[in-house]
Structure 1
Amino acid sequence: MKQVKPLKELLQEGKKGRIDAIAQYIESHIAENWKTLLQNKRDQLLEAYNKAGDRAYGTYLNLLFLPVHQQLKEAGLHPEPRFPGDFDISREWGNQEQTDQQRWMWSAVYASDGEALGTIVTIVFHDHTQFRVPRQPQIIALRETGKKDVVAALSLRSVDFKQACEFTVEYEEYLRNQST
């Protein structure tokens, strides 16, 4: 993967708040690597999709964020949970055909002394009919860190987010509908 300016350098420059510098680093990393990773790992990702369906997007995101986790560790920072975030509380919506979906996940970022720096939100665009990432994942930096505050902040940014259910709620509804 292509290297962008190390996160530690961005943080030392101090031109932005720390959560904004982290978001800038992640955005740069994604811009440089999201398509290349899809091309270089295409066979592996298609195999994962054929075996496990949408879980292949998790494989893709784990590969994409691995260098980010290394940079965070070097800078004495850690996300909770690991990037891109907790799937169970994420929210998704998209078109009726299921070919243009977006899922919003998030992780709070902490300094080594336990100080909460803010939250990084990852927006992943994907397709449920085939393995396809139609657009570059996006990043949002928030000052909020608690779940309730993050949900409120994101609900102000997006009506779709506000109206979407958490994955666990959505899945329970799906299972109920399957049994009727």
Structure 2
Amino acid sequence: MEKITTLKEFLQENKESGIEAIAQYIEEHIRASWQGVFQENHDRLLEVYNKAGDPAYGTYLNFLLLPMNKQLKDAGLRPEPRLPGDLDISREWGNIEERQRWMWSTIHTEKGESLGTIVTIVYHDHTQFRIPRQPQIIALNETHKEDIVAALSHRSSDFKHAREFAIEVEEYLKNQQSNS
């Protein structure tokens, strides 16, 4: 059985502790475990989905990325906020059977230095509980919200035109009030 390298060991062995190396490690974890985590937790996740809908995908991401949050801490790094990121400022778009949500966390050293940002892209279905493909990771050097949004907007016109989740919810609630 192959010994699993910790993030701390990986960064030491590669003499690289930049955001690209961290993203590479997280991508490998996701590649190796995204389907297994989904299958192992399917019944619990489906129960959450049947009761609350989309929050089940957040629960899935927490299961998937909990080991990465622990690995970051063990390596002396701190994601702000925890992986996968802040739902309120995330953005979502796509067809109903394969939506994508982009969330992000800035990675800090123990000394408070910002290394960069890890963007997590999760694909999900709004017609049934299904993750149609592997979550993806993007590494950015940007660390401030405005710069992150600009970099992601440059990378994706869909991201640029999507609204933050908190704004979508606020507009939805206003529409519900005016229709009642």
Alignment of 1:61-100 (within 5 A): 61-95=61-95, 98-100=96-98
Q: Residues 30 and 140 of structure 1: is their aligned pair in 2 closer, same or farther, counting only changes over 3 Å?
A: same
2:65 is the alignment partner of 1:47: no
1:109 is matched by which residue type in structure 2?
I
Aligned to 1:127: 125
Bigger mean CA offset, 80-89 vs 46-55:
46-55
Q: Alpha-carbon deviation of 1:73?
A: 1.1
> What is the CA distance between 1:11 and its match in structure 2?
1.2
* Residue type of the alignment partner of 1:115: E
- Identity, % of aligned pairs? 66
TM-score, normalization by structure 2: 0.94
Equivalent residues of 1:119, 1:144 under 8 A apart:
yes
CA contact (8 A) 1:8 1:74 kept: yes
Q: Tell whether the 8 Å contact from 1:106 to 1:121 is kept in structure 2 after alignment.
A: yes
Aligned residue in 1 for 2:165: 167
Cα contact 1:4–1:28 (8 A) shared by 2: no
TM-score, normalised relative to structure 1: 0.94
Aligned counterparts of 1:5 and 1:148: Cα–Cα separation in 2: 35
CA contact (8 A) 1:4 1:25 kept: no
Aligned amino acid, residue 177 of structure 1: N
Residue in structure 2 matched with residue 29 of structure 1 by the alignment:
29
* Alignment partners' CA distance in 2, 1:57 and 1:44: 11
CA contact (8 A) 1:5 1:25 kept: no
Give the secondary structure class of the aligned counterpart of 1:130.
coil
3 and 28 in structure 1: CA distance in 2 versus 1, 3 angstrom threshold: farther
Runs of 4+ off more than 2 Å: 2-5, 13-17, 176-180
Please give the alpha-carbon distance, in whole angstroms, between the structure 1 residues aligned to 2:163 and 2:85: 16
Corresponding residue for residue 150 of structure 2? 152
Cα distance, 1:3 vs structure 2: 7.5
Aligned-partner SS, 1:73: helix
Q: 1:66 to 1:3 in 2, by over 3 A?
A: farther
Using the TM superposition, name which of 114-123 and 167-176 deviates more: 167-176
Between stretches 43-52 and 155-164, larger displacement belongs to 43-52
Provide, for residues 51-101 of structure 1, a one-character-per-residue CA deviation record: whole Å limited to 9, x for no partner: 111111111011001110111111000100011000000000011xx1110
Gaps of 5+ in 1: none
Contact in 2 for aligned 1:122/1:138 (Cα 8 Å) = yes
Equivalent pairs counted in the alignment come to: 177
Deviation at 1:49, TM superposition (A): 0.6
Aligned in 2, Cα 1:4/1:120: closer, same or farther, shift over 3 Å?
farther
**What root-mean-square deviation, in Å, do the aligned CA atoms of Structure 1 and Structure 2 show?**
1.5
Q: Which runs of 5+ in 2 are unaligned?
A: none
Residue aligning to 1:115: 113
